[in-house]
Structure 1
Amino acid sequence: MGPFDWLPYAPLEPLALDWLNGVELAVLRLDRIDPLISGNKWFKLTEHLAQAHQAGASGVISLGGAYSNHLHALAAAGKRFGFATVGLLRGHAHHTPTVEDLQAFGMHLHWLGFGGYRARHEPGFWAPWRERYPHLYPVPEGGGGLAGATGCRVLVEQARAQLSHLGWADYDAWWLAAGTGTTLAGLVLAEAGAHLVYGAMAVPHDHGVAQNVSALVQGGYQLLDASRGGFAKVDPLLRDFIETTEQACGVPLEPLYTGKALLALKHQVEAGHVAPGTRLIFVHTGGLQGRRGFTAGRA
């Protein structure tokens, strides 16, 4: 594996929506960094790939579902930069637009079933895969852990460098969806207490986001439930909100993360929990390729 010095730049854009009620909002468009290696997933991968290179690995093995943004970005990166990728997938073999892309990008897939995938946190899980693929570097689900968080620290630097374009001297806080909390932890590390980071949890409390984040950082953030009843739960209110928002501002959203996070912010503003004049940076974490599963009828 060669060195990975590609550092895409995410534009920071003002977002005007009628429900903001005096709150100033700018969106960091990670969805625009690249057509395929999109969103926060690349930033979460950078440190893992650097460690794989240092270890002399010829490629990477990781885990995810049949709509995984993480595996999609990893497979696309493998194809572009010329390293091997193996994906361990949840469930049983079936075709989705994401899976078809993974295969087209050259990722070798193994389907673990549901029980086999649940075992991914057990101490001996990686042993047989290390034996089968001794030259591949294992990356945790979603590119998580301290390495994943460290790779996301640069997002703070990129946003601050663009504040003058908005006419802002400073901002008050960050707002983003939290699936594992890795990106949130990276922002907290980079902020070092300077600005609060709000994480709108796109998954229920029992998915361990709070535990993941507290293992990486202490303080400087606040979590709130935006799961709307469960991971991948998409109700009519959320669908209508996404459609209305896209028509109003032209920013594409997806229903698992960014849509839920922005709707949660709307509820907080309407409840009076965010004061007029507050300046927030909203992180668009990408994941738009996953929308194909919903337009195909996945609920």
Structure 2
Amino acid sequence: MSLAESFDRLPQAPLQRLELDWLHQAGVEVAVLRLDLIDPLISGNKWFKLNHHLQAASRQGARGIVSLGGAHSNHLHALAAAGQRFAFATVGLLRGQRQDTPTVLDLERFGMQLHWLGYGGYRARHQPGFWTPWQAQYPDLYPVPEGGGGLAGALGCVPLREQVRSQLPALGWSDYHGWWLAAGTGTTLAGLVLAEAGAHPVHGALAVPMDHGVPQQVAGILGEAGRALEGYALLDASRGGFAKVDRELEAFIEQTEKTSGLPLEPLYTGKALLALYEQVRAGRFAPGCRLIFVHTGGLQGRRGFTGQA
């Protein structure tokens, strides 16, 4: 079985209503695309973002993937799990110094070969020539950007629009008014912008500060695809920086999970939903508005904050 054949059958994510008092009070309806439910390990948007990368790797005859991430990386976790399940090699280039986080221990258990780049070495990942020594060391592996990014990663997310549209009748919806999702690299957001082609706006709640390059990455993907830079908006929801977690966020996640049963984590989905709460309370969305909230997964990363197994 080739790398591409492993991922040929895209999993179907359920679309579920989100029942919360603050939505009812504002007259706003939200349905959650539960990408966290598609697979216990290759979870969230990762299966979709990896799909086209694996197709490209297969066309080049690669025997595996080399990619980047941090010590809590959902992307590397899903990639390593996929490598173990579908028998292809995986190598991870990690930010900083060795950390024995639950995610890192999983990566090794799944068979991923790890290299720790330090912080300066990791910052160089966007520099020309970064990949040259790694491709020399691993000539039979295909390099994939951080988070499964780039145009290939975005194209893998295009089918999410049809997954939503096919389930609207079950909700009693004929249409929706826009998307809301967390943005770490902006790849999934760019894929939805490509899929929508201006039909519905896509709102990205940034998990990193605005100056971390996400606007430029989204613009680069859309430009490479030959699309105009429109149909989306980015909002800084980082609360002071990536992985910054405060008591208000923790309390919001705890209350939301208790009330709705929707599991969240503090880096992406929790911040994105809290940002939506703030926008709804501020009157950003009129009564009758219907939004699709994308649950991008990442629940395995909660272990680094909560001690959960």
TM-score (normalizing by structure 1): 0.98
Take 2:305 and 2:82, find their aligned partners in 1: how far apart are those partners?
24
Percent identity between the aligned chains? 73
SS class of match (1:215): helix
- State the Cα distance separating 1:216 from its structure 2 match: 2.1
What is the correspondence of 1:59-78 to structure 2 with a 5 Å cutoff?
59-78=64-83
* Residue of structure 2 in register with 1:14 after alignment: 17
Aligned AA for 1:115?
A: G
Match of 1:46 among 48, 51, 56: 51
Match of 2:41 among 36, 39, 43: 36
SS class of match (1:124): coil
Q: Deviation per CA, 1:71-120, whole angstroms, max 9, x where unpaired?
A: 00000011111100000111111201001110111101111111111111
* Residue of structure 2 in register with 1:255 after alignment: 266
* Residue of structure 1 in register with 2:29 after alignment: 24
Take 2:98 and 2:211, find their aligned partners in 1: how far apart are those partners?
27
SS class of match (1:281): strand
After superposing on structure 2, the runs of 4+ consecutive aligned residues of structure 1 that deviate more than 6 Å are none
Q: How many residues are matched? A: 297
Unmatched 5+ residue regions in structure 1? Answer: none
Unmatched 5+ residue regions in structure 2? Answer: 223-228
Take 1:116 and 1:210, find their aligned partners in 2: how far apart are those partners?
23
SS class of match (2:218): helix
Aligned AA for 2:108?
A: Q
- State the Cα distance separating 1:296 from its structure 2 match: 3.2
* Residue of structure 1 in register with 2:134 after alignment: 129
Match of 2:250 among 225, 239, 245: 239
SS class of match (1:27): strand
- State the Cα distance separating 1:215 from its structure 2 match: 1.5
Aligned AA for 2:221?
A: L
Match of 2:220 among 215, 221, 242: 215
Match of 1:105 among 104, 107, 110: 110
Alignment of 1:85 with 2:90, yes or no, is yes
* Residue of structure 2 in register with 1:119 after alignment: 124
Match of 2:278 among 267, 273, 279: 267
SS class of match (1:177): strand
- State the Cα distance separating 1:6 from its structure 2 match: 2.6
Alignment of 1:166 with 2:171, yes or no, is yes
Q: Deviation per CA, 1:270-293, whole angstroms, max 9, x where unpaired?
A: 111111110000000000000000
Aligned AA for 2:134?
A: W
Aligned AA for 1:42?
A: W
SS class of match (2:221): coil
* Residue of structure 2 in register with 1:225 after alignment: 236
